Amino acid sequence: MNERRWVTESVLLFTLPVTATTVAFAYEAGFADYFGIPLDLITLNWTAATLAFLALASVFQLSASWGYLLAQYVARWKPWVTVKTALLLSALIALDGVLLFQYGLHSAPFWIGIALTAGYMLIDVLFRIVTSLPGKGLWQRFRKGSVQEENADPLSLPFNRFLLVGIWVIISLAIAWSTGYSRARDQRRFLVTHVPQEQVVLRRYGDMFVMVDLDRSKRTVNRNFTFQAITIDPARVFTPSDVGPILVHREP
């Protein structure tokens, strides 16, 4: 292993656990944002961080192997799609798929993702056209530039490798936040307690429950939270109940 590759892989191995923890926090932040829980109350557990680490490792491994092979296959549609373009588009398309699944075809987040994907494709093609000017022989230079240097093998440059990893990290954070938000929005089963009044447990952070009064008939809650340590009242009964999806009543 040469020195440059060793340094690159060492940096990636160092940043991966940190990124995984950040992804786990992004998921919790999305969940908390739906209900309006203050972010400074969020605590992570090792299970969430470990699952995020395994997910990121799998994503990076797939993008570095199968994703690269797929990008080379797609790049046969040259000159419009190069290997570099296909690699970056794969990350954006993954984001679009998650947004479609979580928010639906007619949602604003999904179409914002589509606009980002189409915008990147258009800008990339226009940039390569501009760099191929003047007009005489433009098409030949455009085709030739699509199979040369970084367009043919983008991962040969350290900057492109870090750029691709950075884009996947940003998209992973967006997906984690969106997943947490949609999970809170769609969750049906919660712990419910009836003493002294009916309250629902929104989340557990460490040894603390975040609870709020529940209007079961309307399936709504407000943002007047109650924070209770799990050990403060061991006799209190919590019952799993299908009271969701829960709507949040936001004060005007």
SS (H, E, C) the chain: CCHHHHHHHHHHHHHHHHHHHHHHHHHHHHHHHHHCCCHHHCCCCHHHHHHHHHHHHHHHHHHHCHHHHHHHHHHHHCCCCCHHHHHHHHHHHHHHHHHHHHHCCCCHHHHHHHHHHHHHHHHHHHHHHHHCCCCCCHHHHHHHHCCCHHHHCHHHCHHHHHHHHHHHHHHHHHHHHHHHHHHHHHCCEEEEECCCCCEEEEEEECCEEEEEEEECCCCEEEEEEEEEECCCCCCCCCEEEECCCCEECCCC
Q: Are residues 140 and 96 in the same domain?
A: yes
- Give the type of residue at 170: I
Question: How many whole angstroms separate alpha carbon 39 and alpha carbon 25?
Answer: 9
The pLDDT confidence band at residue 1, using thresholds 50, 70 and 90, is very low
Instruction: Decide which of 186, 206, 224 is a domain's last residue.
Output: 186
Of the given ranges (25-39, 128-142, 218-232), which has the lowest mean pLDDT? 128-142
Q: Are residues 181 and 209 in the same domain?
A: no
Q: Model's pTM, two decimal places?
A: 0.72
Q: Are residues 195 and 182 in the same domain?
A: no
Instruction: Decide which of 139, 165, 186 is a domain's last residue.
Output: 186
Instruction: Give the pLDDT score at 76.
Output: 63
Q: Are residues 58 and 143 in the same domain?
A: yes
Instruction: Decide which of 186, 209, 238 is a domain's last residue.
Output: 186
Instruction: Provide the residue range defining the domain that includes 140.
Output: 3-186
Q: Are residues 136 and 27 in the same domain?
A: yes
Q: Are residues 72 and 58 in the same domain?
A: yes
Instruction: Give the pLDDT score at 173.
Output: 84
Instruction: Report the number of distinct structural domains present in the chain.
Output: 2
Q: Are residues 120 and 217 in the same domain?
A: no
The pLDDT confidence band at residue 3, using thresholds 50, 70 and 90, is very low
Q: Are residues 129 and 164 in the same domain?
A: yes
Is the model's pLDDT at 89 over the cut of 80?
A: no
Instruction: Give the pLDDT score at 78.
Output: 65
Q: How many CB atoms lie within 10 A of CB 52?
A: 23
Q: Are residues 197 and 229 in the same domain?
A: yes
Is the model's pLDDT at 46 over the cut of 80?
A: no
Q: Are residues 59 and 175 in the same domain?
A: yes
Instruction: Give the pLDDT score at 80.
Output: 67
Which tokens hold the place of 59? 């994503």
Q: Are residues 135 and 111 in the same domain?
A: yes
Cis geometry, peptide bond prior to residue 79 (ω within 30 degrees of 0): yes
Q: Are residues 182 and 198 in the same domain?
A: no
Strand-strand pairing, 247-248 and 220-229: parallel
